[in-house]
Structure 1
Amino acid sequence: MKKILMHAVRQNIVIGVESDDYPNDLKTKQKLFKNTLINTVSVPQFSVCIPAYNDIECFTRCIASVLRQKDVSLECVVCDDSNSDSIFNYINKINDSRVRYYRNKPPNGAPKNWNSALHLSQGDVVTLLHQDDWYRSESTLKDVLGCMQRNDADVCFCGQAIANESGEVLGEYPVSVGKVLRMYTGFPRRTLVVNLLGAPSVVFFQRRHLDVEYDVKLLYFSDTDYYYRLLSSSSAVTVLAEPNVGISRSVAQISKFCLSHLDSVLEELFYALKKHQASSIDSCAAVARFVASNLRHWRVASLLSALKLIWKHFSLQATLLTFFIFPIFAGHMCYRLFLRKVCGRIWA
């Protein structure tokens, strides 16, 4: 990551796109898309990729926020893992040529479905928008485009607003250059476990970064692992501070699974630490931080499994170091919970 910038500008451009059906094989799909690009008069400025799964109520809000974007050309790629036809029927009902729909049979699962959706894109700037998230303003994409163009950036992070299931905003959280820097420099000791930048829906990047994929072996840490690798491959990063992306605070199915299988998530953490060749001290800090930050979700059985995993992957010295620094992170977590409960800070 060579430089980090922050600014926002506006620009008005409108170009049309076309829609199509695509085969199941990913390589065939990519080849077909390349051929389509040759025959397409205009390449859209944005590809908004929605990995869908069953929740039609959230999906309708999500795709509506995409299709109401003004002064930019876009395509909306829907990669559907649903076991019902509700999303398929809804897309047929709205009948918008900017929407490209693809049904996965059998379902890909996350995060493989995220990668499939991204690789189906044709736009100059690509973004992943989870179906329970949405764009709060009709000029969100226009603002992102202007920000990237003015700063000659190939990656942009946008601020976010946390909302409950009914869409009521609980708190707004602008992104900053400092957070991006801490995300990069604090990896993996801190920022593999602690996500400073938000959900994948706040990330926009030029299509040359499509070779940076979400690791299909990761689920809980797929976003932070991806952010670090994306920042590493970027030549210039900018931020759009305004919280223009709405993020649902409801516990999604992935989060529910992770919180009920924390010992499996810990195994995933060890994989990520080994993948990034983390030092012994960084590994101990990351594991201690993860166990402490999820302390209220641990159950006796999973906690015992976690202790066995720590003993399995760490030396005696590293295990003792992990237990030594654990109370520090546990105390910090209690302080954050106090800020949330007493002071009302949603993302303390």
Structure 2
Amino acid sequence: MMPVLVSICIPCYKNAEKVKRLLESIRAQSYTQFEIVLTDDSPDDTVKDMVLSDFADLQIRYFKNTPSLGSPENWNRAIALANGEWIKIMHHDDYFMHPQSLQRFMDHTGSGASFIFSDYTYIYLESGKQEAALFPEKSLKDLLRNPMLLNANNTIGNPSVILVHHSLKEVCYDKRFVWKVDIEYYIHLIKKGAKLQHIRENLIAVGMSETQITSSVKLNPDYELPEALLLLQLYGFDNLNNIVVYDAYWRMFRNMHIYDIETVKQYAKGDWGKAIEHLLRSLKKCNPDRLKKGVYSKAKMLQSFVGRPRH
């Protein structure tokens, strides 16, 4: 039998050197039944020229976005153009850790899963520090029962660590999200019935940099609050009956020092529901200095959770 075709989708914006590093890691793969779909949001031809001069042997399907699409629409375009039975998105900050990485992903495609993901290693670009990220296997059943747990802790990781079957192509990254766009995508896939398979191997290097989008939106209420509300609107306020999800919202408001619904609605208008209003009232009654201490904050959160209005 012929090996199954996998589409490696690379949505990029500038950073030709990082794209080059990623393409070199693809060129080194032992599994070679792949196509490369590269959608370029760059304002110039730096990436295009590099691809044509250094990687003609890879027969890359290159597409220039005019005008540029931005994230995550550039991601969606790359996926929409994919011809493979399996789709492997790779962001240009990231790369395959070793020549067998893609093969190890493809080894699991016969398991019946449609959403495969691996462990990975953070590479801090400024310092060179490396940090392994391991998925807690025992939490997989909980995640399948309530994918909103990902809002508390994205244990899967960024999109470069996943492989999805083409039957899931209709699920797109939601352009209304910036900070939680990957989390919402995973929740959507699981809600659509995607069957998950975890690979207990570090197969992907995830590049971390101070210039990434996440560094500018984390704890920024202009992004965090509208997206936090939209998640509840999309997937149900009853998720707040789960203590882990409730705690995630507690920590979000606590860390941004926002304790009243009037302030919240300055950033995200809409009905936040009785449970969130109760949570904010509970936070407002706390000693703000003591909230910095985990034990005090956790105890007050538990007290608030027990007394919350039920959805």
Match of 2:279 in 1: 321
- In structure 2, the partner of 1:290 is 252
Which position in structure 2 is the counterpart of 1:210? 169
State the shift of 1:319 in Å.
1.9
Between the two structures, name the one with larger relative contact order (CA 8 Å, sep ≥ 6): 1
| Kept after mapping to 1: 8 A contact 2:240/2:275 | no
Q: Is the 8 A contact 1:263 1:305 kept in 2?
A: no
Map 1:1-348; keep pairs closer than 5 Å. Answer: 45-94=5-54, 95-149=56-110, 151-165=111-125, 168-188=128-148, 190-234=149-193, 236-259=195-218, 261-279=220-238, 281-282=240-241, 285-292=247-254, 295=255, 298=256, 305-306=263-264, 308-309=266-267, 313-314=271-272, 318-324=276-282, 331-332=293-294
Amino acid at match of 1:87: V
TM-score, structure 2 as length reference: 0.80
Contact 2:237 2:273 in 1 (8 A): no
SS in 2 for 1:279: helix
Count of aligned pairs? 287
Which whole-Å deviations, capped at 9, do the CAs of 1:267-325 have from their partners, x for residues lacking one? 12111211112227357544323234xx3xx599xx99547457963356632323526
Cα distance in 2 between the residues matched to 1:92 and 1:192 = 40
| Distance verdict in 2 for CA 1:259–1:176, change over 3 Å | closer
Could you tell which deviates more after superposition, 93-102 or 213-222? 93-102
Change (3 A) 1:108 1:325: same
Change in Cα spacing, 1:127 to 1:305, as seen in structure 2 (3 Å) is farther
Q: Quote the residue 1:35 is aligned against.
A: none
For residues 311 and 112 of structure 1, the distance between their equivalents in structure 2, rounded to whole angstroms, comes to: 25
AA aligned opposite 2:106: L
Tell me the distance in 2 between the aligned counterparts of 1:99 and 1:181: 39
Name the SS of the counterpart of 2:147 in structure 1: coil
For the 8 Å contact 1:263–1:306, the answer to whether it is kept is: no
In structure 2, how many angstroms separate the alpha carbons of the residues matched to 1:158 and 1:64? 20
Partners of 1:278 and 1:186 lie apart in 2 by 13
Distance 1:128 1:66 in 2: 12
Please tell me whether the aligned partners of residues 183 and 196 of structure 1 are also in contact (alpha carbons under 8 angstroms). Answer: no
- C-alpha distance in structure 1 between counterparts of 2:116 and 2:72, whole Å: 21
**Match of 1:288, as an amino acid?**
W
Structure 1 gaps, min length 5: 1-12, 16-43, 336-348
| Sequence identity (%) | 20
Q: Distance in 1 between matches of 2:216 and 2:83?
A: 33
The gaps in structure 2 that reach 5 residues or longer are 298-311
CA RMSD after TM alignment: 3.2
Whether the 8 Å CA contact 1:183–1:197 is kept in 2: the answer is no
SS at match of 1:217: coil
CA offsets, 1:218-250, max 9 Å, x none? 111111111122123345321111111001121
